[in-house]
Structure 1
Amino acid sequence: MNDYRILVVDDEEDLCEILKFNLEMEGYQVDTATSAEDALKLKLTNYDLLLLDVMMGEISGFKMASMMKKNKETADIPIIFITAKDTENDTITGFNLGADDYISKPFSLREVILRVKAVLRRTSSTPNENAEKLTYKGLVIDIPKKKVTIDDEEVALTKKEFEILLFLLQNQGRVFSREDILARVWHDEVYVLDRTIDVNITRLRKKIGEYGQCIVTRLGYGYCFECE
């Protein structure tokens, strides 16, 4: 048993129980709620992560997430949206609300567990010098200082290049479509073309030298940071 507590919020009671059982088998402490209304009655600050369905009753998952983000006490609790909806607009809405990940139904339980582990690993470190830096071999991202160094030499990146590299490195091995990257890096900026992402990634690859080959293109799917 580990110390992580997870709250699953989904109006499908069977799905709640399946997720609860499988996550508990991984050692997590798991509670469930079958509506946002019931979930909001709980002490949400007790949880390290919420798995939140989008399509529920009067209070949708998006609305509940928005309420949480406006409350200082719950604003930093990680959220993974689980939903049957998988359109570009829904993905962008979820990320703009501060979602840490987005899983579409139907999904494999193995995928859910891997995503849960990745989000908890990324968000649960206690603040210290190491937690504020992301390192891959000689590549170091100093998150508070917004600085990238390779073998102790600073690399001059634009704001967007920095954010793309940080996003991909935080999610090593996971493929993100151009739409995903737009949603996370450009947020709700209008008139940003897919080509803009390609140009930024091409420049980024050149600037980070040998590590540029770690930013892999998956044709037809998107980009990922792939460790050797």
Structure 2
Amino acid sequence: MATNKEQPLSILVVDDEPDIREILQFNLENEGYQVDSADSAEAAATILSGKHRLILLDVMMGGISGFKFADQLRKAGNNIPIIFLTAKDTENDMLTGFSIGGDDYISKPFSIKEVIARVKNILKRMAVPVDKPAKKIIEIGELKIDLESKTVLLDSQPIELTKTEFNILELLVQNEGKLYSRSDILDKAWKNDGIVLERTVDVHITRLRRKLGHFGDYIINRTGYGYTFSPQ
């Protein structure tokens, strides 16, 4: 059950299949969540607000696809967690979802128990930040990482990172030179979410390196061992 009884956590379900919307809404509300639903990305855009803590988003919809809608949200700086729902279960489709900024990916047909478990895992991660000292800023040349406000500046320009990307960057930068296996990074940045695959770490780090420009070269992959942060 959701822990905040006075104000249940709010979830937005976006799917063009009425039966799926209804079963998800029914079961999530039974778990104590407040659920809104939309039958398209266009409709979702009109009701999505700051109260929503997570989106369950169908990939294959008429009009704007789930991937396109998620991409629009990320480009607009909206980092709300997104779980993609899709009948397409190829590795390329899954990696596309993660590269856009998705937090999880569930193939149809799905078990409602699995969906609820993943929703709870993600909302738990969002509620528990990585342990860190307050009011600390790390500066590496033109790269500035504010651990309190969770913001990153490169050449005085803000870089939009997802929560997971920031968690990975913070872990590696605060432990410069220390090697972390993919499993270690999953435990630290995803808070021991056993559902997430280890190759997801590679996808997030690839995206993080790209956003950091030449500073991305400081995130080094030691083959057979894992990742480390080493300014050159």
TM-score by length of 2: 0.66
**Match for 1:114 among 111, 117, 121?**
117
Partner SS, residue 114 of structure 1: helix
Correspondence 1:27-42 to 2 at 5 A? 27-42=32-47
Q: Considering only aligned residues, what root-mean-square deviation do their CA atoms show, in Å?
A: 3.4
The answer to whether the Cα contact below 8 Å between 1:4 and 1:48 also exists between their aligned partners in 2 is yes
Which of 76, 81, 99 does residue 78 from structure 1 map onto? 81
What is the CA distance between 1:165 and its match in structure 2?
A: 2.5
Report how far residue 125 of structure 1 moved: 4.1
Q: CA deviation at 1:123?
A: 1.5
Cα distance per residue 1:165-193 (max 9 Å; x no partner): 3334425252554543432333499xxxx
1:147 aligns with 2:174: yes
**CA shift in 2, pair 1:178/1:122, >3 Å:** closer
Q: 1:88 to 1:66 in 2, by over 3 A?
A: same
Residue deviations 1:144-184 (CA, integer Å, cap 9, x gap): 77334xxxxxx8325xx377633344252525545434323
Identity over aligned pairs, percent: 43
Aligned to 1:26: 31
Asked if the contact 2:186–2:193 (Cα under 8 Å) also holds between the matched residues in 1, the reply is no
Greater alpha carbon shift after TM alignment, 38-47 vs 48-57: 38-47
SS across alignment from 1:44: coil
1:5 to 1, 10, 27: 10
Q: Which residue of 2 aligns with 1:209?
A: none
Q: Do structure 1's residue 183 and structure 2's residue 186 form an aligned pair?
A: no
Structure 1 counterpart of 2:104, from 89, 101, 104: 101
1:174 maps to a residue whose letter is: G
Unpaired stretches in structure 1, ≥5 consecutive residues: 133-140, 149-154, 190-195, 205-228
Change (3 A) 1:93 1:119: same
TM-score normalised by L of structure 1: 0.67
State the partner residue of 1:193: none
Deviations 1:42-77 (A, max 9, x none): 1332210000010001100000001111113xx111
Q: For 1:123, give the aligned amino acid.
A: M
The alignment covers a number of residue pairs equal to 180
Unaligned segments of structure 2, at least 5 residues: 135-146, 148-167, 210-220
